[in-house]
Chains A and B, each alone.
Chain A
Amino acid sequence: MVIKGIPGSPGIAMAKAYVLEQEEYCIFRRTISPHDVKKEVARLRGAIMKVKEEIAETRERLIHRIGKKHAQLFDAYLLILEDRALREETEERIVKTQVNAEFALQETIDRIVKTFSLLKDDYLKDRVRDIIDIGHKIFNYLLGRPRFTLGDLAEEAVIVAHNITPADTRLLKNKLVKGFITDLGGPTSHTAIFARSLEIPAIVGLKKATKMIKTGDFIILDGDQGVIVVGPDDVTIENYHRQQRIIVQEQQKLEHLKDLPAVTLDSRKMDIAANIEVPEEVQSVLAHGAQGIGLFRTEYLFMNREDLPGEEEQFEIYRRVAEQILPYSMIIRTLDLGADKLGVDLGIEEERNPIMGLRAIRLCLKYRDVFKAQLRAILRASVTGNIKIMYPLVTGVDEFRQANAFFDEVKSELKNQNIPFNANIETGVMIEVPSAAISADLLAREADFLSIGTNDLIQYTLAVDRINENVITLYDPLNISILRLLRTIVEAGHAEGKWVGMCGEMAADPFFLRILVGLGLDELSMSAISIPRIKQLIRSTSYQDARAMVEEILKATERDDLLKILKKRELEY
């Protein structure tokens, strides 16, 4: 049987399936007789005790495996379980209203959840999820079906679940978990992003996977194609084994490059950094030999939720990543989203063309509270690591100045409050709108660095929507106008003594690498997985030759000429 879904994270996994039960309960109210009250209270206490034991055990095991810091979630769980309010209130309900333990517990949890959701503090609001999780665990024991925890996994498995919540994903950092499959979710869902950051293959949006796959079924998960083969025949298994071997061999070949610098044959040094979306990716970033984070996309913090992340929550995340990446630096890009992707309603009517609408720096300059929380969090974190900041979608100097003026306001506010921050934090600008590219010389005077976002720059310059199949072939990084723009930007930056980087997908494509070297880019930032390959290419490229090649191709007038020159040069190589 073959099932198709949405590719969530690339790679191939072959293992037995483990289907996580859907956590749905039907709690009935049952009136109990007065002499059963004691028995019901004892049942509740017994269940709480069991969950306590289970959690304490998982906690121990996790401390062992991933360190004390990460086991903090379980400390919170234990505190809640041991809490008087939860137990006493539920017992009181059982005694006073003579109902079964399940119903009494549900009522207590409902009340607690309601009170918590009224709180202003985002972090505390998030505790609601912990309380619900705890409730589920107690219900499981009360209903006589202890839930499997991933810490108990005895052999390699592909996890099949209806949905994987952020709380679950912490448990999924288990070496025995070879892949995820979920009924819900799309390519940007939490599951997909998390799986990519852990480099575990995943397929999402399968709708009915949990109904079609049974625990123990042997399955092949092809994360590149978004295909699951349940009970494959020997030939299929052998084919996938071969593919897997090739991937592993490629990776091993590149492994030794990890600690080597990215220098050209003629000793020009480049910085190779990584793009990240979630804090969990830092380990993979370091493992692939990145020299820092060239783009921390903060959008993910704002998506798939019904509120905005507060200053504290953001601060904690920025601080943690900055610390982990030391001695390297991290560039945080401020919010690059449109209002449609935010959980809260800002009262903006639906936009007909959101790509050119109120988003990114425009949104931030209009809704200053949102911007301020992020800027404060970044500044506060700036004392713990080497943090730089850059603004997305800036169209020119005026906008850059507006953003900086506000940034200065936020800085003085912190100063007045005696909150420490790095007053010399480097502030850069993303060059991704043609107008910014054209005025790159003006921007370079005021910014500390320029980082080219090729995805949008190409899309806006060539007026091509890169997810529209009718015009996708027109999306061309080798378009002569694009190459000329790139040269303009790099030269503008260098004329002012500023470094120029690139953080779009073009930076990770081996095909363009020699052009980028020849253009004189100082930094390339890409997904961690691409780093070893790009590093290898840089180490086998001569900067002088690449420069000469770029000179030559920039004289071309049409694409065919350009390709001919490129081909000839590649052959000479």
Chain B
Amino acid sequence: MIDKSYSLKNSLGMHVRPAGMLVELLSRYKSEVKIVYKSEEVDARSVLAILQLGAGRGEELLFVISGEDEQDVISGLDDLILKRTFDEI
């Protein structure tokens, strides 16, 4: 199991579009992925669950990943959240 925390740099935080992109990304991997935010833990593959966190711009999300391809998940998340900031400029 590995975990890594990411802060949201895109303009609206965890809104519908970014949440959808995240769910779509995770559908490519096998590992179980959870998001921990302010003492709440949710399934990272559910748009509704992610939205319910209400995590805005600048907030930190902790991703907890366990499974055979957990390293790949981390590189996928790095790319989506850090590098591409959900394709927002």
Nearest B residue to A118 via CB reads B54
Is the Cβ of A75 less than 8 Å from the Cβ of B52?
A: no
Q: Could you tell me the dominant secondary structure of chain A's interface residues? A: helix
Is the Cβ of B52 less than 8 Å from the Cβ of A83?
A: no
Q: What number of A residues sit within 8 Å (CB to CB) of B?
A: 20
Residues of chain A within 8 A (CB-CB) of B47 are 79-80, 82-83, 85
B1 part of interface (Cβ distance < 8 Å): no
Select B16's contact among A82, A115, A127, A312, beta carbons within 8 Å: A127
Nearest A residue to B42 via CB reads A85
Select B20's contact among A75, A86, A312, beta carbons within 8 Å: A75
Select A312's contact among B12, B19, B54, beta carbons within 8 Å: B12
Q: Could you tell me the dominant secondary structure of chain B's interface residues? A: helix
Is the Cβ of A123 less than 8 Å from the Cβ of B54?
A: no
B-facing mask of A94-134, CB < 8 A → 1, else 0? Answer: 00000000000000000010011001110110010001000
Is the Cβ of B43 less than 8 Å from the Cβ of A85?
A: yes
In the complex, how many angstroms separate the beta carbon of A376 from the nearest chain B beta carbon? 13
Select B51's contact among A75, A82, A124, A312, beta carbons within 8 Å: A124
- Interface hub of B16, B23, B49, B56 (most chain A Cβ within 10 A): B16
What is the interface residue range for chain B against chain A? Answer: 10 to 19
Bound-state Cα–Cα, A312 to B54, Å: 14
Bound-state Cα–Cα, A119 to B13, Å: 13
Nearest A residue to B11 via CB reads A312
B-facing mask of A547-570, CB < 8 A → 1, else 0? Answer: 000000000000000000000000
Bound-state Cα–Cα, A124 to B48, Å: 10
Bound-state Cα–Cα, A131 to B16, Å: 12
Is the Cβ of B45 less than 8 Å from the Cβ of A112?
A: no
Is the Cβ of B51 less than 8 Å from the Cβ of A84?
A: no
Please report which residues of chain A, range 316-334, place their CB below 8 angstroms from some CB of chain B when the two chains form the complex. Answer: none
A463 part of interface (Cβ distance < 8 Å): no
In the complex, how many angstroms separate the beta carbon of A486 from the nearest chain B beta carbon? 44
Given contacts A79-B47, A84-B45, contact A115 B52 (CB under 8 A): yes
Please report which residues of chain A, range 414-429, place their CB below 8 angstroms from some CB of chain B when the two chains form the complex. Answer: none
In the complex, how many angstroms separate the beta carbon of B3 from the nearest chain A beta carbon? 21
Bound-state Cα–Cα, A123 to B51, Å: 11
In the complex, how many angstroms separate the beta carbon of A60 from the nearest chain B beta carbon? 18
Is the Cβ of B12 less than 8 Å from the Cβ of A85?
A: no
Is the Cβ of B46 less than 8 Å from the Cβ of A85?
A: yes
Bound-state Cα–Cα, A91 to B57, Å: 33
User: Which 5 residue pairs of A and B lie closest in terms of their CB atoms, listed nearest first?
Assistant: A119-B54, A85-B46, A85-B48, A84-B46, A79-B20
A-B CB contact pairs (8 Å), 15 listed: A75-B16, A76-B20, A79-B19, A80-B47, A80-B48, A83-B46, A85-B46, A85-B48, A85-B49, A112-B52, A115-B52, A119-B52, A121-B56, A124-B15, A124-B54
Q: With A84-B46, A123-B15 given, can you name 9 additional A-B contacts, CB distance below 8 Å?
A: A76-B20, A79-B47, A80-B47, A83-B48, A85-B43, A112-B48, A112-B52, A119-B52, A121-B56
